[in-house]
Structure 1
Amino acid sequence: MNMEKDYIKLIFGLKLKQARTNKNLSLFGLAKITELSKSYLNEIEKGKKYPKTDKIILLAEKLEITYDHMVSLKLDNNLAPIGEILKSGILKEIPLDIFGIQENDLIDIIANAPAKVNAFISTIIEIAQHYNLSRESFFLAALRSYQEAHNNYFEDLEQKVLDFSKAFHIDMNNKISLDELAAVLREEYGYTIQELVFSEQEELGDLRSIYVPKSKTLLLSLEIDEQQKAFILAKEIAYNYLKIEDRLYTFSWIKFDNFDQVLNNFYASYFAGALLIPRKKLIGELNVFLSKSNPTGDEMIELMNQFNVSPESFYQRLTNILPKDFQLKNLFFLRLSHKKGTDTYQIKKELHITNQQEPHANEMNEHYCRRWISVKTIEAAIAEKKEHYFGAQISRYDNSSNEYLVFSSATADPFKKDRLRSISVGILISTPMKKKFKFINNEDMKRQVVGVTCETCAVKDCEERASPPIQLEQKKRHENTDLIVQQYMAKFS
């Protein structure tokens, strides 16, 4: 099996460091007994250099281990998980530098405390395998962490949009048209745009666009609406204007080959959202809306309709603007999916700004609280047969007493037949938040005590409950058992 040179150097460096620490030698001490420079040995341990044969023989002799052991790619048990990670190439695929981490620094941390850190890594791997976490899911989780670490606001991309609008004379105060977007792609970037009936091929039923790089042809599904088409065109502009080459060629995505594609897909999507929903205009419209004492759902829908975007793009944009320009840094974004005729609701996308907020995805097949406005809007959209049903409520979570103002929009899922989805943004209610939302204390605002999942919820006499609180009851049983055990311990001490 051919191993990458980098992998071989890293493994040798780990083995050298382990052998040195087993002898209680510092780098200075090893340098002294081998007459090799400390900086040279440090480079070897960090996996940056691989010594020549005579140097390996010298190191093996002074460390009292065999040459074969030094050059073998087999790691001791306590370092084996590191070897698996290095061999998999996962560290190469994830640009650790965006998290402020250098690969060699991470390896150094692991090597300094192999037993504890490797137990942690092994646990993470086991959890991933247990829940069948795919490579794509891992990448998306890493991306979500990156977004959350930056409060989902990226100043450089915001500036790129402004630079683009200036260079192409795009009026950011007016709704950008499909003709403008298409003209930029055709005239500036040499695109051919062609519309086809994708649904004629069953395998293409979930796709909305395909980009053919060789001929610069963008194939669009005839079944997409104007908002979807605008986002796809804006995203193609982003790929070109930002000079992104390692990219995805379908929307929605089929697979990611590496993490760079995940990250670049996000950058292009962010650019598209910022182009279609200009920051300055959105801030102005939100200030008007928030100053109202009793706004209606129709007024919120009218606000969204001022931009040529889907509800999901609008809510995503709120997660950029609210933390940055309204200092509302505790919020969550959820996309909930539901198939008609079933009692199943699934979180398909989530984002938590600043902290892990209350509602979150779980892999326990539990039932999400039916009192969520995210669920209620889907139910109402089906019952009232509305293309876009908007709802809002103040949700107080029973387990923490945290309160959130939650906006939610339910529409047909454009990618799945007989499915609906709701897009929601929840904002933690605090004193500063109340000053910005004039209608927060309005008596007409619906208030609801909610849980996370039925299985963990302590709310009594809940008519919407989809499952008994079995997880909560089991937890209480364990607590009661522990209490009695402590009593026996005290009695017989």
Structure 2
Amino acid sequence: MATTQHQRIIFGLKVRQFRQERGWNFEEMSRQTGISISYLNEIEKGKKYPQPDNQRRLAKALGITPEFLASPELTKQYAPLGDLLQSNFLNELPLDLFGIELQQVVEIIARAPDRVNAFISALLEIARNYSLRDENFFFAALRAYQELRNNYFEEIEEAADAFVGANDIPENGGVPSALLSDLLQKQFDYQIDERGLEKYPELQSLRSVFNPHKRKLLLNSRLNERQRAFQLAKELGFNVLDLKERPLASNFLRVNSFEETLNNYKAAYFAVAILVNRHAFVRDIGDFFSKEKWDAQGLLEMMAKYQASPEVLFQRFNVLTNDFRLEKVFFLRFIHDLDRDGFDIDKELHLNRRHQPHASGLNEHYCRRWLSLTLLRDLQTQQKQDGSRPQLLAGVQRAAFLDTGEEYLCIAVAKPGYPTVGRNVSVTLGVLLDEHAKRTIRFWDDPAIPRMTVNVTCERCTLADCTERAAPPTAVRKREERKRMQELLNKLTDK
């Protein structure tokens, strides 16, 4: 009977534990069981699962029953690891993408089980307390993989170039959704219903749903041309890249595996690559960066040229790492919930290192001085004044972080969250202003660009007299209180 990796790992952990309790090395264990040292080593690493006769010999030597040895039950010492293995979480993590084997992780744990299992128990407790689910870890692992690859995937770029060339897709301008729809129907036998979600009011927040049994794509009739083109291009990505495990709805209602998360990203990457041709875009960005003055209209015209949403255009800024060697960058997407007037980061990416502006899971107030938020405020003001759906707003800022002094050139665009009502969205590109960035982006020192001292959240900011402050510096006060207490303790305990 075939055994799973988890069965082999649990069996190996038990053998290791009881061998060590007896103080036996592999040589003594081999003498007691008649099993070779090399095979025993493979068993303990979770690479081999012995036949029943060898299981009985091992159990007899270790003083336990064969039934317990072969069961999924672990002793108290390894119980947290057993919970982790049975949750299937470790199996779903993309360890192979990072050159790690599951057995290596288990071996690290087995070397110091008490300490590491206490650490695992703490992580599981934190996950429960903060309502973290598998999908939180899957998305975090995906971001780590994107960052490892500088968010640039040559193999997908090549597949997109080949598809564009073979199907006469426009390379220097907008790609019409009708062309993409035609390609899906003719090459991949799709049925496309452009009003397919119209009679389902509960699904109006979704942009598309795919029925794999009928090969039918149901689209939200409220999508504009840009959004419709992206959904169709993404479907082409699933098919051209032969991605089998995939979500069936445009929004993740439930994440089933990391493979599904990764494939969804790959299909979206392919979509962006055919909608905004890399070679043309690199030329356009080169021209844009060579200007001496910041040109907001030029950025918006670039979006219009490629008929790209801000999210698609900013995703295409991934060429900065490969073609411009700008690697110290971050991308943020903010959601402004208009009903509760709250700001949340729902997407972020940090290349080269963890940059200062980042998401916080502590329900703190993001710095209101960030360009991402000031543009959203401006957009909200426009909506209140004229009631109509305003145009896109583009802006630029030189943001210097209070604690580190590091300065970023931030470029952002804000827009209504159409077709979802009651929210606005901003996307931001931040480039660390080192010497290479200053040579590459000529307008970085344009006097017209606003300069602002910023921080991460109000609760952790020491800046005095900040008119934009949305919350008191509670975390700063607690830190200062602990510091004063420690100073007093040091005085009381000095010789």
> Which structure 2 residues correspond to residues 2-151 of structure 1 after superposition, within 5 A?
5-67=4-66, 69-151=68-150
Query: In 2, Cα distance between the equivalents of 1:399 and 1:331?
Result: 19
Give 1:485 deviation, angstroms.
1.6
State whether structure 2 residue 392 is matched by structure 1 residue 388.
Answer: yes
CA distance in 1, matches of 2:146, 2:91: 20
> Does the CA contact (< 8 Å) of 1:75 and 1:83 recur in 2?
yes
CA distance in 1, matches of 2:38, 2:166: 50
C-alpha distance after superposition, 1:23-67 (max 9, x if no partner): 343334422442212232223223333323432232233334454
Amino acid at match of 2:364: E
Q: Distance in 2 between matches of 1:353 and 1:47?
A: 35
Q: Which residue of 1 aligns with 2:357?
A: 359
**Mean Cα deviation higher: 232-241 or 54-63:** 54-63
| Counterpart amino acid of residue 248 in structure 2 | Y
DSSP 3-state at the match of 2:446: coil
1:143-182 pair list within 5 angstroms: 143-182=142-181
Check conservation: 2:333, 2:347, Cα contact below 8 A.
yes
Normalized against structure 1, the TM-score is what?
A: 0.94
Superposition pairs for residues 390-469 of structure 1, below 5 Å? 390-469=394-473
Q: What does residue 252 of structure 1 align with? A: 251
Superposed CA RMSD in Å reads: 1.9
Return the offset for 1:276. 0.9
CA–CA distance in structure 1, aligned partners of residues 182 and 38 of structure 2: 57
2:334 pairs, out of 333, 336, 346, with 336
Distance 1:82 1:170, change over 3 A: same
What SS does the corresponding residue of 1:249 show, helix, strand or coil? coil
Query: Could you say which residue in structure 2 is the equivalent of 1:476?
Result: 480
CA distance in 2, matches of 1:459, 1:187: 60
Of all paired residues, the percent bearing the same amino acid is 37
Other-structure match for 1:289 = 288
Note if contact 1:197-1:223 (Cα within 8 Å) is conserved in structure 2. no
Relative to structure 1, the CA distance from residue 7 to residue 183 in structure 2 (aligned partners, 3 Å threshold; closer, same or farther) is same
Greater Cα offset, 331-340 or 459-468: 331-340
Q: String of CA shifts for 1:265-303, please: whole Å, max 9, x gaps.
A: 011011111111121111111110111111321111112
Give per-residue Cα distances to partners, 1:134-166, cap 9 Å, x unaligned. Answer: 222221111111111111111111111112122
Instruction: Answer yes or no: is the 8 Å Cα contact 2:172–2:306 preserved in 1.
Output: no
Deviations, residues 211-246 of structure 1 (Å, cap 9, x unaligned) = 122222211111001111111111111111111111
CA deviation map 1:81-123 (0-9, x unaligned): 1101111112222332112111222222221221222222222
Which residue matches 1:370? 368
TM-score (norm 2): 0.94
Q: Which sits farther off after the overlay, 412-421 or 368-377?
A: 412-421
Distance in 1, matches of 2:401 and 2:367, equals 10
Q: Matches of 2:459 and 2:421 in 1, distance apart?
A: 29
1:312-359, CA deviations, whole angstroms, 9 ceiling, x for partnerless residues? Answer: 1111221x2112221121111111111225431111111111211112
CA contact (8 A) 1:230 1:308 kept: no
Separation of aligned partners in 1, 2:182 and 2:74: 58
Structure 1 residue 78: Cα displacement: 2.4
Q: Contact 2:412/2:428 (CA < 8 Å) preserved in 1?
A: yes
2: CA distance, partners of 1:216 / 1:237 = 12
The amino acid across from 2:403 in the alignment is N
Give the partner amino acid of 1:123. Answer: A
- Stretch of structure 1 that moved more, 88-97 or 270-279: 88-97
Asked whether the 8 Å contact 1:371–1:448 carries over to 2, the reply is yes
Tell me what 2:221 maps to. 222
Q: In the alignment, which residue of structure 2 is the partner of 1:279? A: 278
SS at match of 2:194: strand
Q: Which moved more, 1:170-179 or 1:308-317?
A: 170-179
Counterpart secondary structure, 1:250: coil
Contact 2:417 2:424 in 1 (8 A): yes
Q: Which residue of 2 aligns with 1:190?
A: 189
Structure 1 pair 197–238 and aligned structure 2 pair: CA distance change class (3 A): closer
Residues 322/26 of structure 1: CA separation in 2 closer, same or farther (3 Å cut): farther
- SS of the residue corresponding to residue 452 of structure 2 reads strand
**8 Å contact 2:255–2:261 — kept in the other structure?**
yes
SS in 1 for 2:349: strand
- Structure 2: runs of 5 or more not aligned: 384-389
1:261 partner amino acid: E
Specify the code of the residue in structure 1 equivalent to 2:133. S
Letter in 1 for 2:368: R
The letter for the 2-side match of 1:367 is H
2:387 matched to which residue of 1? none
5+ residue gaps in structure 1? Answer: none
CA distance in 1, matches of 2:46, 2:233: 43
Give the Cα–Cα distance (whole angstroms) in 2 for the partners of residues 131 and 112 of structure 1: 29
C-alpha separation in 2, matches of 1:149 and 1:120 = 25
Match of 2:236 in 1: 237
SS at match of 2:205: coil
| Mapped contact 2:197–2:218 kept (Cα < 8 A) | no
SS for the counterpart of 1:440 is: helix
Question: Do residues 263 (structure 1) and 267 (structure 2) align?
Answer: no
Aligned to 1:327: 325
Deviation at 1:384, TM superposition (A): 2.7
Instruction: Give 3-state SS (helix, strand or coil) of 1:335's partner.
Output: strand
Give the paired residue count: 488
User: Which residue pairs with 1:304 in the alignment?
Assistant: 303
